[in-house]
Structure 1
């Protein structure tokens, strides 16, 4: 999709930003440090050679198919990406993580994410498509047309989550779905980030019904489809700062708020413990 004029930036920005995150220079690195979190970079389908064996250990392919006219993945690649997400969740939980944040990075990925959300929530493309990285009106029209065509292609397979991801998702979205479903299986809470992660969450709820009970929305982005997906999942965002970056940045901003809530709940004295008078009982 990145070659179809649906983004304000060229496709090579994806690989450049992955390298920036891996070297510690991105927004998510700064925000994670403030929040007391660690950052792990995984290359599922960046259209570039892997930077290292560690980052590229789960790479499925280079790029994804143009979902307006063809499947994003093959059936085998879709299963491979879902399994990769499950493995990553297992690895993080086994390493001691008690809270997970899912993030995303990819030029053009809000197009695929919006197509998934619009199809799964049964809304018209014009009600779901946003301006992503800052496209102009002509770019919005191209993006809306691409989402419309992808939704038409996905219609017959929407009851099958794996087939839906194959049709109009991508390796990143498939891996996110697997990751979020497996986190719930492992009884580990997840802070969701923006539109791409939440689109993956809609499919994850199909893969593992009830998984959404283990998730909290970190923030509300500027993409209309994000609000639609959160409403479908019954989740209220912790913060609404009109963020649009991705990378897990909105969820990382919400993490200190979550820590504050936990600290208050666990450390604040009750009225009885603090010898504070309670309200009088009605007579």
Structure 2
């Protein structure tokens, strides 16, 4: 708990372009005012977090956190639990979608075992932050203890601190965990005080019967555990997941060191909801890459006040949407730092300012 408290105490509020220097620089460029749209917005957010217009992006890192969920016993996933471990191996071997997209944008993928339900073979490309061998079945009791919930959050903070000396300019959040849309839907229902039916989606492709079972299981988990919507750690402990706690910790740790966070989809945003509920100042460090095809994701983004950058009907997770979003931030920052002004380009300025 000490690391979490220390981290919270060092998170500063982000002021967006407080002195207007970013807006002034964009105004001087040889382009019509506002013509870069959201690329200008992204550059402004990034430069504001970094503290000035002379900013660069050299180190892009995507954290893909893996964990299993005891609630898989209730038949809420179309895939067997062992797929989590198999996909972790795929990540470390460089063959997954996130590896391809990370290579495409020049980012490094950091794969982390936060709570896979088996002992994953040691690998130089895998970080171990294991809290337990998967969570317990939240339909019959708490997914984890409150102490484990705090440890999972602190594991995410530790990941940021361990990577700092190697350089981090911006991070992307990603996930892997069979059945993890079930706890994510529960977290949204509790923190957003919403009806379970309205926030629950089909996950990895459930048929209608399994989908209805999933809704019943989430309702049962909430009724059984009675998570306190005003206590995000209690919510995480009772209906969350180890990797979701780790994602929350990534958001908190990144904010503590003034590092922008590019969110991926539904599960990553569930972690962000937990982080935001713990420390609201985290919010200005968060950027929504895309809106997932998973039903509740749009609702999560609305709770955080975020407008996604794109909608490609994606729902894979892993950090895939975050990778694409990071490339747009980098494009915006390069425009801010490399474009020529009207004067430098020898272009006449507009008559009307």
TM range (shorter): over 0.9
Which of 87, 92, 95 is the matching residue for 2:166? 95
For residue 153 of structure 1, report the CA deviation from its aligned partner.
Answer: 4.1
For residue 155 of structure 1, report the CA deviation from its aligned partner.
Answer: 4.2
- Contact 1:93 / 1:188 at 8 angstroms: preserved in 2? no
For residue 93 of structure 1, report the CA deviation from its aligned partner.
Answer: 2.5
For residue 275 of structure 1, report the CA deviation from its aligned partner.
Answer: 2.8
Work out the CA distance in 2 between the residues paired with 1:154 and 1:73: 11
- Contact 1:50 / 1:56 at 8 angstroms: preserved in 2? no
Work out the CA distance in 1 between the residues paired with 2:156 and 2:175: 12
Q: Secondary structure at the match of 1:224?
A: coil
For residue 31 of structure 1, report the CA deviation from its aligned partner.
Answer: 0.6
For residue 160 of structure 1, report the CA deviation from its aligned partner.
Answer: 1.4
Work out the CA distance in 1 between the residues paired with 2:218 and 2:172: 27
- Contact 2:112 / 2:127 at 8 angstroms: preserved in 1? yes
Work out the CA distance in 1 between the residues paired with 2:159 and 2:324: 23
Work out the CA distance in 2 between the residues paired with 1:165 and 1:53: 29
Q: Counterpart in 2 of 1:61?
A: 132
Work out the CA distance in 2 between the residues paired with 1:34 and 1:235: 26
Q: How does 1:231-250 map to 2 (within 5 A)?
A: 231-250=302-321
Which of 16, 19, 25 is the matching residue for 2:95? 25
Q: Counterpart in 2 of 1:7?
A: 77
Q: Which structure exhibits the higher relative contact order, with contacts defined as CA atoms closer than 8 Å and separated by 6 or more residues?
A: 2
Which of 179, 198, 201 is the matching residue for 2:269? 198
Q: Counterpart in 1 of 2:186?
A: 115
Structure 1 residues 156 and 250 mapped into 2: Cα distance closer, same or farther (>3 Å)? closer
Residue 253 of structure 1 pairs with residue 295 of structure 2: no
Q: Counterpart in 1 of 2:198?
A: 127
Work out the CA distance in 2 between the residues paired with 1:4 and 1:253: 34
Work out the CA distance in 2 between the residues paired with 1:251 and 1:235: 14
- Contact 2:244 / 2:270 at 8 angstroms: preserved in 1? yes
For residue 74 of structure 1, report the CA deviation from its aligned partner.
Answer: 1.5
Structure having the higher strand fraction is 2
Structure 1 residues 277 and 153 mapped into 2: Cα distance closer, same or farther (>3 Å)? farther
- Contact 1:119 / 1:155 at 8 angstroms: preserved in 2? no
Structure 1 residues 152 and 273 mapped into 2: Cα distance closer, same or farther (>3 Å)? farther
Q: Counterpart in 2 of 1:170?
A: 241
For residue 255 of structure 1, report the CA deviation from its aligned partner.
Answer: 2.0
Q: Counterpart in 2 of 1:83?
A: 154
Higher-Rg structure is 2
Q: Counterpart in 1 of 2:34?
A: none
**What is the aligned residue count?**
282
Residues 83-124 of structure 1 show CA distances to partners (whole Å, capped at 9, x for unaligned) of 111101111223211111111001100110111012111211
Work out the CA distance in 2 between the residues paired with 1:204 and 1:88: 15
Structure 2 residue ranges without an equivalent (≥5): 1-70
Which of 258, 270, 277 is the matching residue for 1:187? 258
- Contact 1:119 / 1:154 at 8 angstroms: preserved in 2? no
Structure 1 residues 153 and 170 mapped into 2: Cα distance closer, same or farther (>3 Å)? same
Work out the CA distance in 2 between the residues paired with 1:89 and 1:208: 17
Q: Secondary structure at the match of 1:202?
A: helix
Residue 229 of structure 1 pairs with residue 300 of structure 2: yes
